[in-house]
Amino acid sequence: MSKAKSLLGRTAVALSTAAIATLALAGLAGPAQAESPILGTVALTPISGSVQDNPFVTAATTSAACPTGFGENAALKVGPPGGPYSPLARIGGLADYDQAPFTLEANRSLATALGGAPADGTYEVAISCSGATGAAPKDFSTLITVAGGTWAVKNAASTSTRLTAKPGLFAVKGQRVTLTAKVRPDAAGSVEFFAGSTSIGTASVTDGKAVFATTALPKGLLQLTATFTPEDPRRYAASASQICYLVIG
């Protein structure tokens, strides 16, 4: 009897451990929102110059505010894409960088920040947002190209988006309509679909296209729009496509 109880006890412990592990794995494997590698871009003034110009730029302006809770400090920095970075100015400490887009000014040259005249190539100018929580900073950034002692902002490559619908031209109210947006070149990002000014859904770009299906298009002659937002706006520009579509009923 004691052996049977011991065996049952060991079995129960093993099953409990397996159940806990399964639940833990399920929690880890749950759906997660992929985070963009950067928060947005940094507009530089001027957009080109010498690596010896001091200051490097008179204004570096974020495309949006820092995320809520990350507005305590802001730092302007430069380095190879992905880092490591060197400071281009003292850390800003106004503590309100999460309220609106903002501007920082460099207080040294690009050459000074990088410890000497930089080699030709691509560099990243970034503004980091940080808070009092100790969480990892979040960055806005843009890319610059250095060549022969001068630098210039590296413009994002243009993209094109082409929207099609199936069935084509028209559908009956309540019928399933599949919208496909083809993005060229094949850049990572997402496409938001609109009927008029109303957003009806978003889909990720996979293999150069984003697909969204709906049965909720309203009745009438609609202007359908697909707007592509790149995952990395430093490298690729946004684009959009529109078609007219009729829903009868």
Q: Could you tell me where the beta strands, DSSP code E, fall in the chain?
A: 42-45, 48-50, 59-62, 73-79, 86-87, 103-104, 121-130, 138-147, 150-153, 160-166, 170-172, 177-184, 189-195, 198-204, 209-214, 220-230, 239-248
In this structure, is residue 87 part of a structural domain?
Answer: yes
- 61 with 116, same domain: the answer is yes
Residue 37 lies in a domain: no
Q: Which of 126, 153, 180 is the last residue of a domain?
A: 153
Q: Is residue 128 domain-shared with residue 190, that is, in the same domain?
A: no
Q: What is the pLDDT of residues 81-101, one digit of tens each?
A: 989 999 999 888 778 999 999
Cis peptide before 218 (omega within 30 of 0): no
Mark whether 149 and 46 lie in a shared domain.
yes
Whether residue 211 is found in the same domain as residue 191: yes
pLDDT at 37: 64
* Weakly modelled stretches of the chain, pLDDT under 50: 1-36
Q: How many structural domains are present in the chain? A: 2
Report the pLDDT value the prediction gives residue 27, as an integer from 0 to 100. Answer: 31
pLDDT for 128: 95
Q: Are residues 166 and 146 in the same domain?
A: no
CATH code, domain with 164: 2.60.40.10
Do 105 and 81 reside in the same domain of the chain? yes
Q: Considering the domain boundaries, does residue 28 fall inside one?
A: no
Note down the domain range covering 81.
Answer: 42-153
Domain-embedded: residue 14? no
Whether residue 184 is found in the same domain as residue 95: no
Residue at which a domain ends, from 153, 184, 210: 153
Both 187 and 100 in a single domain? no
Taking the model in full, what pTM does it have? 0.72
Q: Which two tokens stand for residue 170?
A: 């028209």
DSSP 216: -
Domain termination residue (choose one: 87, 119, 153)? 153
